[in-house]
Amino acid sequence: MKKIYLVPVLLAGVLVSCQNKKEAEDKKLADQAIAIHDEIMPQISSFDKATIEIDSILLNLNAIKVANPELDTTTTRTELTSLKVNLEAATDNMMIWMKDYSLDSTDVAYQQAEVDNVTAMKKQFDDVSKESETKLSPFRK
């Protein structure tokens, strides 16, 4: 008779143990997603400043051409317009991710997918940051 009571108790113990591991895993993944977010989020202010700088350069491109006659304004306009689109896309992706992200989700697959999403966003931020530095450096004094 004692063995009959022992089986449900052991089964309950195993289930609770598995649930705790699952909760620990989803918490770990959520913390990882937020850590990556916190690492790249501050770049948005520099992206915003870069878009303003691009607008200023494009607005004054004729005057810049006078000071630098060798400047290919068509290529410059195309490159800077593309850079601005990339900067805005990175910023928009972050805003959408923050709006849609559910920190409280206990679904491990969801949290893993979000870690993957924010990791891809980190790469996007790194790439556009390098592109910005490369394309804007000739215009910075």
Residue 84 covered by a domain: yes
Residue 15 covered by a domain: no
Residue pLDDT, tens place only, 33-61: 999 999 999 999 999 999 999 999 999 99
Q: What is the pLDDT of residue 25?
A: 87
Domain around 76: 28-139
Does residue 22 carry a pLDDT above 70?
Answer: no
Residue 23 covered by a domain: no
Q: Helix/strand/coil (H, E, C) string of the chain?
A: CHHHHHHHHHHHHHHHHHHHHHHHHHHHHHHHHHHHHHHHCCHHHHHHHHHHHHHHHHHCHHHHHHHCCCCCHHHHHHHHHHHHHHHHHHHHHHHHHHHHCCCCCCCHHHHHHHHHHHHHHHHHHHHHHHHHHHHHHHHCC
Residue pLDDT, tens place only, 118-130: 999 999 999 999 9
Residue 89 covered by a domain: yes
Residue 135 covered by a domain: yes
Residue 42 covered by a domain: yes
**What mean pLDDT comes out for the span 77-97?**
98
Q: What is the pLDDT of residue 5?
A: 60
Residue 109 covered by a domain: yes
- What is the count of structural domains for the chain? 1
Q: What is the pLDDT of residue 141?
A: 77
Does residue 17 carry a pLDDT above 60?
Answer: no
